Chains A and B, each alone.
Chain A
Amino acid sequence: MFDIQLMGLFNATLQAATLLFIAALGELITEKSGILNLGVEGMISVGAVTGFITAVNTGNIFISVLVGVFSAALFSSLHAFVTVVLKQDQTVSGLILTILGLSLSALMGKQYVGKKLPVKIESLVTIKEPTNIIEVLLSQNYIFFLSIILMISTAYMLKKTMFGRRLEAVGEDSRAADSMGLNVNKTQFIATCVGGGFSGLAGVYLTLSYVPYWTDNMTSGRGWIALALVIFGGWKPYRTAVGALLFGFLEALVPRLQTYGFELSPYLVKVTPYAITILILVVLTIYKGGRTGAPSNIGIPFFRESR
């Protein structure tokens, strides 16, 4: 009995972590280029609603995922346009993107609240009641495995490919990158849209698998957690994954605390990852002399003529 409960907790941890991780990984790519996008919450929401609407209307899961990813990427291009092309403040633009994304998706999804989903993202292997860790892992759906592939390929992309090196160069010193002949604007624009696409994928995971329905504001702050995760992970994919598992574990643990007979307040337990993230950030800043892993140019618009 206890085993099944424990496996349930593990399963819920993986599901919560997958969602957070995908969004955080996208934001990591965006931030690597020196663009801070605080609009993750809005982008997830847009991906979630468009994916859901497509799934209800077409019944095709593949198309739905694609629509969710691309509409969120398109949506994030608004942030890219305002901050990369027009050089406006990234903090402000990102916050507006959140408001716009949440309200637009609420408007779009109005007729879809409470609708049943005809399809669901399938699992690799269907196991009714997993009894050990391997079975739990195997019973995850395709997006979970996709997220692992994305993690490995992003880590590889950042360190080993031209695009990854370009991203890093642009994010660390955009002027030097520019004088080396890199197209800073193009790199930042692409990185922002890719980040948006990842958020969109997190969104479709939310509505097509994690909680298979649509309602207003159902992202419920997960986009902000994703932002915290990037910092927690020191802008490194694998460490971000560890952070996602920690945050996911706490999200899964909180509703179960009472059944385990703990007297701890679930509300205070929920706060601990944020406190941990702040502490990690402070400790990293002190011990590494400000080298937290944050791209040096983050939040600063690149402006060629200011050389």
Chain B
Amino acid sequence: MNKYLLSKKIVVNELSTFYSFVIGLTIGIGIGSIILLAQGQNPVDVFSLMLRLSIGSVKSISSSLNKATPLILAGLGISIINSVKLWNIGAEGQIFMGGIALNFIYISTEVTNPNFSILLLLLASFVGGAVCILFPAISKVLFGVNEIITTLLFNYIVIGLTVYLVNGPWKDPNSLNFPAAAYVGKEVYLPTVFGRLSYGFIICFLCTLGVHYLKEKSVFGYELRISGGSALTAIYAGINAKQKAFVAMLIGGGLAGLAGGVELLSQTHRVSTGLSQGFGYTAIIVAAITGMRPFGIFLVGSLFGALTIGGSVIQTMGVSSYIADVIQATTLFGALIAQFFFTYKITKVTEDV
């Protein structure tokens, strides 16, 4: 009788996450092509158009990178929280909270220097995101309440708050029937570097470097890994694991809030329910699929930004933009499946019965 045994590989190829992503992408494009063929479209035409419109020119590359910015920022936050083996499913809510905090500071303060004002507003969005995860963080470290559930539920509370604000106290009478807050002034828009590329992307790149340093090179990152790895080791090493987890959660939530702030100042320019289009959820997957590595999040996040832009423009060809979502999801499933073969070893055992 043949039996199959599963064991974890001791040495896992360093680049395995990259390889699995490439394999996943191939599967995703393959399935996308099948669906396109079934709909009577030529996949080559559609994909080449997608490529041209997402990375074919400086203008389109900058649109793609702008789209990627909130995804990467939120993903970085998730990766910090995950170094203590905790999940943050609440990035979506934290993005909105970042936008809300920013708008709150914007309408309640009077700052004449625009540069200082932008800095203050971005700081406000960071604090907003951190405040949004404060309750889940406290209840996790003090009482051990499951953070997956509390952060998830906070999404609804914050989105409810957003809907309330843009339909009530903050409703802009000039926006006709569309519920949204008033636009922020042009003086606090994030300027562009070149083309359409916003300074938000530069912020996002700096954050990637910062998070990489924090996670991989700093003492704090080391303490985080120990706290997440083994509670006992942390005690022996004299590390206050709960305190580290708490700080990690606040920073992670703050980065997601910053994602909302950057998105508001560079793209939407106002608070509305369209501030985030599921960035918070996609960011979780992007972070997980890259093994929580900051540079991986940066690369895959950029690629997903391009895919989203590509997906939104192919609608002009009469192709549903949902194709891009299907490609995204199948890519990720493909990568997960491929990851299995990189991390596990299957051995066939022949047993005599």
Residues of A within 8 A of B (CB): 36, 38, 78, 82, 86-89, 91-93, 95-100, 102-104, 106-107, 110, 216, 221, 224, 227-228, 231, 265, 267-268, 270-271, 274-275, 277-278, 281-282, 285-286, 290, 292, 294, 299, 303-306
Contact among A89, A95, A107 with B320 in the assembled complex (CB-CB below 8 Å): A107
- The CA of A283 and the CA of B284, in the complex, are separated in Å by 28
**B58 interface residue (CB < 8 Å to A):** no
Q: Mark B218-252, 1 if CB is under 8 A from A, else 0.
A: 00000000000000000000000000000000000
Chain B residues with CB below 8 A from A102, complex form: 325
B337 engages A82 (CB within 8 Å): yes
A82 engages B336 (CB within 8 Å): yes
List the 7 closest A-B pairs by CB distance, nearest first.
Answer: A103-B325, A271-B160, A100-B329, A267-B164, A86-B340, A103-B322, A92-B288
A91 engages B288 (CB within 8 Å): yes
- The CA of A95 and the CA of B8, in the complex, are separated in Å by 25
**Residue among B6, B329, B332 having the largest count of chain A Cβ atoms under 10 Å:** B329
**Residue among B150, B160, B278 having the largest count of chain A Cβ atoms under 10 Å:** B160
**B300 interface residue (CB < 8 Å to A):** no
- The CA of A82 and the CA of B154, in the complex, are separated in Å by 28
**Whole-angstrom distance between the Cβ of B28 and the nearest chain A Cβ:** 11
Chain A residues with CB below 8 A from B288, complex form: 89, 91-92
**Whole-angstrom distance between the Cβ of A294 and the nearest chain B Cβ:** 7
**B118 interface residue (CB < 8 Å to A):** no
Contact among A36, A88, A104, A231 with B326 in the assembled complex (CB-CB below 8 Å): A104
Chain B residues with CB below 8 A from A97, complex form: 329
Q: Provided the pairs A107-B322, A305-B7 are in contact, do residues A270 and B160 lie with their beta carbons within 8 angstroms?
A: yes
Contact among A99, A228, A285, A304 with B329 in the assembled complex (CB-CB below 8 Å): A99
Interface residues of B in 145-166 (CB under 8 A from A): 145-146, 148-150, 152-157, 160-161, 163-164
Interface of B: prevailing SS: helix
Tally chain B residues at the interface, Cβ within 8 Å: 50
Chain B residues with CB below 8 A from A99, complex form: 278, 281-282, 285, 325, 328-329, 332
Q: Which B residue's beta carbon lies closest to that of A106?
A: B322
Q: Mark B128-154, 1 if CB is under 8 A from A, else 0.
A: 000000010001000111101110111
- The CA of A305 and the CA of B4, in the complex, are separated in Å by 11
Contact among A89, A100, A267, A292 with B163 in the assembled complex (CB-CB below 8 Å): A267
Chain A residues with CB below 8 A from B344, complex form: 86-87
A275 engages B322 (CB within 8 Å): no
**B89 interface residue (CB < 8 Å to A):** yes
Chain B residues with CB below 8 A from A282, complex form: 139, 143, 145, 150
**B19 interface residue (CB < 8 Å to A):** no
**B298 interface residue (CB < 8 Å to A):** no
B89 engages A221 (CB within 8 Å): no
- The CA of A306 and the CA of B6, in the complex, are separated in Å by 10
Q: Mark B1-34, 1 if CB is under 8 A from A, else 0.
A: 0000111100000000000000000000000000
- The CA of A82 and the CA of B340, in the complex, are separated in Å by 9
Q: Which A residue's beta carbon lies closest to that of B7?
A: A305
**B35 interface residue (CB < 8 Å to A):** yes
**Whole-angstrom distance between the Cβ of A93 and the nearest chain B Cβ:** 6
A304 engages B6 (CB within 8 Å): yes
A96 engages B332 (CB within 8 Å): yes
B329 engages A281 (CB within 8 Å): no
B336 engages A267 (CB within 8 Å): no
Chain A residues with CB below 8 A from B160, complex form: 267-268, 270-271, 274
- The CA of A100 and the CA of B331, in the complex, are separated in Å by 10
Contact among B8, B149, B325 with A306 in the assembled complex (CB-CB below 8 Å): B8
Q: Mark B273-310, 1 if CB is under 8 A from A, else 0.
A: 00000100110110011000000000000000000000
Chain A residues with CB below 8 A from B35, complex form: 107
Chain B residues with CB below 8 A from A95, complex form: 281, 284-285
B149 engages A98 (CB within 8 Å): no
Q: Which B residue's beta carbon lies closest to that of A271?
A: B160
Chain A residues with CB below 8 A from B139, complex form: 282, 285
Chain B residues with CB below 8 A from A227, complex form: 152
Contact among B89, B144, B340 with A285 in the assembled complex (CB-CB below 8 Å): B144
Q: Provided the pairs A107-B323, A267-B164 are in contact, do residues A290 and B144 lie with their beta carbons within 8 angstroms?
A: yes
Contact among A38, A91, A271 with B161 in the assembled complex (CB-CB below 8 Å): A271
Can you give 15 A-B contacts (C-beta < 8 A)? A86-B336, A88-B339, A89-B336, A98-B281, A99-B278, A100-B330, A265-B164, A267-B168, A268-B160, A271-B156, A274-B154, A277-B153, A278-B157, A286-B143, A305-B8
B336 engages A274 (CB within 8 Å): no
**Residue among A99, A285, A290 having the largest count of chain B Cβ atoms under 10 Å:** A99
- The CA of A88 and the CA of B344, in the complex, are separated in Å by 11
- The CA of A294 and the CA of B161, in the complex, are separated in Å by 29
**B87 interface residue (CB < 8 Å to A):** yes
**Whole-angstrom distance between the Cβ of B292 and the nearest chain A Cβ:** 11
- The CA of A265 and the CA of B336, in the complex, are separated in Å by 43
Q: Which B residue's beta carbon lies closest to that of A102?
A: B325
- The CA of A99 and the CA of B145, in the complex, are separated in Å by 27
A305 engages B330 (CB within 8 Å): no
**Whole-angstrom distance between the Cβ of B111 and the nearest chain A Cβ:** 30
Chain A residues with CB below 8 A from B47, complex form: none
Chain B residues with CB below 8 A from A104, complex form: 322, 326
Add 18 more A-B contacts to A86-B336, A271-B157, A285-B143 (CB < 8 A): A36-B148, A86-B340, A87-B6, A88-B336, A88-B337, A91-B288, A92-B289, A98-B281, A99-B325, A102-B325, A106-B320, A224-B155, A265-B164, A270-B160, A278-B135, A285-B139, A285-B145, A304-B6
Chain A residues with CB below 8 A from B106, complex form: none
Chain A residues with CB below 8 A from B161, complex form: 267-268, 271
A107 engages B326 (CB within 8 Å): yes
**B268 interface residue (CB < 8 Å to A):** no
Q: Which A residue's beta carbon lies closest to that of B324?
A: A103
Chain A residues with CB below 8 A from B8, complex form: 303, 305-306
- The CA of A67 and the CA of B165, in the complex, are separated in Å by 42
Q: Provided the pairs A88-B339, A228-B153, A267-B160 are in contact, do residues A100 and B326 lie with their beta carbons within 8 angstroms?
A: yes
